[in-house]
Amino acid sequence: MTTDMGLAYDEIVKEAISGKNAARKLICAKKYALLDQEVNDSEIMQMLDILDIVIASLPDRNQATSSPVNNQTELTHYRRVASFLDIIFRKTGLEMKDGETCSKATKEVRKHNARTYNDNDKKVIVGRRIDLLLSTMGIELGSSEWKKDSTSPGLGKQQQVKNARTNKAILRTLEKMSMDDNERDGLFVLGMDWIGQNGYMIAVKHVDDGYCAYHMGDMMIPPTLNNLKDFKSTLNLLYQYKHHLINMTEIVEPAFYREQAKSKLHTYRLPSNPKRPPSPDTLFTPVKKKTKQTNANKNDHDHDNESESDNEYD
């Protein structure tokens, strides 16, 4: 987040001490001031939209929560984060594919493994089902997963491993695209894992001869107004996520069109043939036989014919 966004955030947190209505009034005043300046969809406006959603859903001070977090479904937790991403990704061209979408990158990896290890199973190979795939122009840029709050630590670990592997498969697919070595070396993929209202962001990067997944930061959705200040670091991380995806798009988009051009022109390229023996000597058109001439004419042209014959076979 920018400095102005951070200052506005802190001011709203301070106002929230007086209650959610006071905080929402301040948000409305700031949004009105921006609209009065013809600022329609800046990042600070997006932040204000998100804060209004968050605060409106929270219980007011000294008010009990309406629904225990551990009773909420996985979809409920996903929808809440997705509503923030819908706002943050406005006008970026980034695509959010949700609802247990199959990852194309993981499908290609599974097909490769089946060929490598002679797996003759006749079952149709499909990709891993992912809660949220971020993509641009149909190219996957990262995956994220959700579990409900009551998920066991063991199941949470399984989700973590699955998501790390999925993001590694996505990164491998991106690395195969037509791009400069410097661009390829700078690639890394971000993904999120959420357990209820708490989550974390990971990055997967190619390092030397392997791929490493490392922790980028923890995230949380505030359960009360008193926790609103804790949401600032989460929002900051989500904006870093957005900017990274935009940078990825700037690399992937030209690479996509290079791949498209290569695919179209491949048909018109001569195939690479195996090494063959040297070509034979140059072939010339055979000399036509001359018609038989009378003796009188023959004597007159003997010398010329000999010259012609010699020249034709040179």
- Total-model pTM: 0.79
Confidence at residue 125, expressed as pLDDT on a 0 to 100 scale: 78
3-state secondary structure of 227: helix
Query: Quick count: other Cβ atoms within 10 Å of Cβ 183?
Result: 17
Q: For every one of its 314 residues, what pLDDT tens digit does the chain have, with 9 covering 90 and above?
A: 899 999 999 999 999 999 999 999 999 999 999 999 987 789 999 999 999 999 999 988 777 665 566 678 899 999 999 999 999 999 999 999 988 788 998 888 888 787 877 777 667 777 888 999 999 999 999 999 999 999 999 999 999 999 999 999 999 999 988 888 888 888 999 999 999 999 999 999 999 888 999 999 999 999 999 999 999 999 999 999 999 999 999 999 888 888 888 878 877 876 665 555 554 444 444 556 655 555 555 555 555 554 444 444 44
Residue 309: CA count within 13 A, CB half-sphere: 8
- Dump the DSSP string for 96-143: EEEEEEEPHHHHHHHHHHHHHTT----SPP-PPEEEEEEEETTEEEEE
pLDDT of residue 281: 46
Distance, in Å, from the CA atom of 206 to the CA atom of 22, rounded to the nearest integer, reads 48
State the pLDDT at residue 282: 41
pLDDT computed for residue 284 by the predictor: 43
Q: Alpha carbon of 170 to those of 120, 193, 297: distances in Å?
A: 25, 16, 87
**pLDDT value at residue 312:** 44
Beta bridge partners of 95: 135
pLDDT at 71: 76
**∠214-218-221 over CA atoms, to 5°?**
150
CA-only gyration radius of the chain, Å:
34
For Cα atoms 62, 64, 68, give the angle at the middle one, nearest 5 degrees: 150
Are 192 and 144 spatial neighbours (Cβ–Cβ below 8 Å)? yes
pLDDT at 308: 46
Provide the sign of the torsion angle of the four alpha carbons 265, 269, 271, 272, taken in this order: negative
Nearest to 220 by CA among 236, 240, 243, 204: 236
Cα–Cα distance between 2 and 38 in angstroms, integer? 19
In 3D space, the residue among 199, 138, 132, 136 whose CA is nearest the CA of residue 166 turns out to be: 132
